[in-house]
Amino acid sequence: MDTETLDIVIVGAGLSGINAAYRVKTELPQHSFAVLERRTEVGGTWAFWKYPGFRTDSAMSLFGFAWRPWTSDLNMAPGPLIKKYLEESVAAAGLHDKIRFGHRLASADWSSDEQRWTLRVDISTPDGTVETRIIKAWWVIFTTGYYSYEKPLPTVIPGIDRFQGRVVHPQFWDESLSYAGKRVIIIGSGATAITLLPAMAETAESVTMLQRTPSFVMTLPARDGLYDALSRFLPSSWARQLHWWIRMTLETLFVLYLRVFPASGRKLLLSEMRQQLPKGFDVERHFNPWYNPFEQRLCFCPAGDFFKALHRPGVRVVTDVIDTVTETGIQLKSGAVLDADIIVTATGLYFALLSTASVRVDGEAINDTIGNRYIWNGSMLEGLPNSGMITGYTAATWTPGADVRTKQLLKVIRHMDKTGIAAAAPYVDPAERARMGASPAVTLSSTYVRSALDRIPKVGDRKPWVYGSCWAVDMWRLLTSDVRQGMRFWGNQQRD
């Protein structure tokens, strides 16, 4: 079996993987690296999902890369435009020859004797067969996100097998499905449902969003004209930088306000929603959740398209509990019956870190013990040598979080290069573990998070075991932290 040796392997060519590849190429030019992408295209999430209206729910001025700003004034871009932006970013950064498509990481085994990872990679060939290659890597960086592509969150919907119409999950959307003139029920109240409803309402006979728990929904402008205004007085590069800083400051202050003053924030959100909903709409019942803002993800919609759709005949929100699905629709606990031709089960994601790879350290399986391990500065798992796990923010825009955590990893690698050290792994002293608090790294109260607590790393109440959610704080930690704190180093570099 062919064996290849590389310094750094990045797993995943989505937004986080492309960003990590750019950072490695520009900041660690002396190191060889490759990106393994199991699909045949870049984009990750933005190439995978196909449901109607699929878009980001973050402002693109922050969601785009810091090293290649989003240039359109479109504020919340649809999936295809984001995928195109990522493809263009790969080309602009000269990364295409570093990405290996059809390469699925099957297993990753760390050997302390070799001070390397042995990666078993399954390669899909044009004739449909699968070949296997071995890669020896000094570092492995996982940028595959936090949900499974293979399966959604398991959800029991009583009687769903009896339904005589079409049942579809957004994660596996059939693009040939026609919903024009159909009666549609969307089960769910998260970002996916908020996106689906206005898109499907364009042609469906009726669309009902059936939710058990309400969500907060906030409108963002469809377009961002701030850059154009700034560029009238400043050079383009200065205007882009200032634009980014203004948007980051506003987002940081907004998230902080809602978290520190949840009662006031709730009133603000309810007031905004009440102004956009049809007169007489029961806001308290359908849009006043039991949880505080950002305890679950705050849903955003561009130019109020979600609220505008609710002014259409046949478009509504129902807050109730399913008793059973019948042959022709859904019977609710309240006794009401909803008729349907199509049921969309927008019921959530299955939380899964490290993609589908089986990961072992000196023969010890890691995948089933992630929930018992602390995460170091948001970027490395306790006990996993020379490996990173990059995710972005969940209560703020994803990309700045993924970027600052990637920079933390590179800071560790640069320290190892400077000192000639071969291996590094986060380490929690037993005495410190006994004194330190522990909570899940992702604190959202959403069902898909609460059901995955055994698969979510822990965070502590002191550095370097905290898991930041604010770019400014994380950036300060990056600039001032000592990579030796909470880290065990050993061995001497003898790489090829």
Q: 73 versus 445: which is more confidently predicted?
A: 73
177 with 168: CB under 8 angstroms? yes
- At residue 202, the pLDDT reads 96
pLDDT digits (tens, 9 = 90+) for 425-439: 999 999 888 888 888
pLDDT digits (tens, 9 = 90+) for 6-25: 999 999 999 999 999 999 99
> How crowded is residue 222: how many other Cβ atoms within 10 Å of its Cβ?
14
Which residues sit opposite 108 in a β-bridge? 119, 359
Average pLDDT over every residue of 412-436 = 94
- At residue 148, the pLDDT reads 87
Distance CA 240, CA 70 (A): 9
Distance CA 352, CA 234 (A): 45
Q: Which amino acid is at 48?
A: F
Distance CA 25, CA 236 (A): 25
Distance CA 395, CA 172 (A): 26
Please, which pLDDT band fits residue 495 given cuts at 50, 70 and 90? low
Strands (E), 257-321: 299-302, 315-319
Note if the bond before 278 is cis, omega within 30 degrees.
Answer: no
Please, which pLDDT band fits residue 152 given cuts at 50, 70 and 90? confident
- At residue 378, the pLDDT reads 92
For the full predicted model, state whether its pTM sits above 0.85.
yes
Distance CA 164, CA 162 (A): 6
Indicate whether 115 pLDDT > 90.
Answer: yes
Which of 141-155, 179-193, 405-419 has the lowest average pLDDT?
Answer: 141-155
The percentage of residues in the chain with a pLDDT greater than 70, rounded to a whole number, is: 98
Indicate whether 441 pLDDT > 90.
Answer: no
Indicate whether 444 pLDDT > 80.
Answer: no
Cα–Cα distances (Å) from 184 to 132, 170, 215, 324, in that order, read 44, 13, 20, 17
Indicate whether 443 pLDDT > 70.
Answer: no
Indicate whether 440 pLDDT > 90.
Answer: no
53 with 195: CB under 8 angstroms? yes
Indicate whether 381 pLDDT > 80.
Answer: yes
What would the DSSP string read from start to end of 86-130?
HHHHHHHTT-GGGEEETEEEEEEEEETTTTEEEEEEEEE-TTS-E
- At residue 142, the pLDDT reads 96
pLDDT digits (tens, 9 = 90+) for 188-235: 999 999 999 999 999 999 999 999 999 999 999 999 989 889 999 999
Average pLDDT over every residue of 305-333 = 96
Average pLDDT over every residue of 470-481 = 91
Average pLDDT over every residue of 149-173 = 92
CA 225 to chain CA mean position, Å: 27
Average pLDDT over every residue of 406-414 = 97
Of 190, 189, 213, 180, nearest to 342 (Cα)? 180
Cα–Cα distances (Å) from 164 to 328, 330, 342, 349, in that order, read 6, 11, 9, 25
Q: 451 versus 202: which is more confidently predicted?
A: 202
CA 271 to chain CA mean position, Å: 29
Average pLDDT over every residue of 110-114 = 95
Q: 443 versus 29: which is more confidently predicted?
A: 29
pLDDT digits (tens, 9 = 90+) for 42-55: 999 999 999 999 99
Of 40, 58, 38, 46, nearest to 14 (Cα)? 46
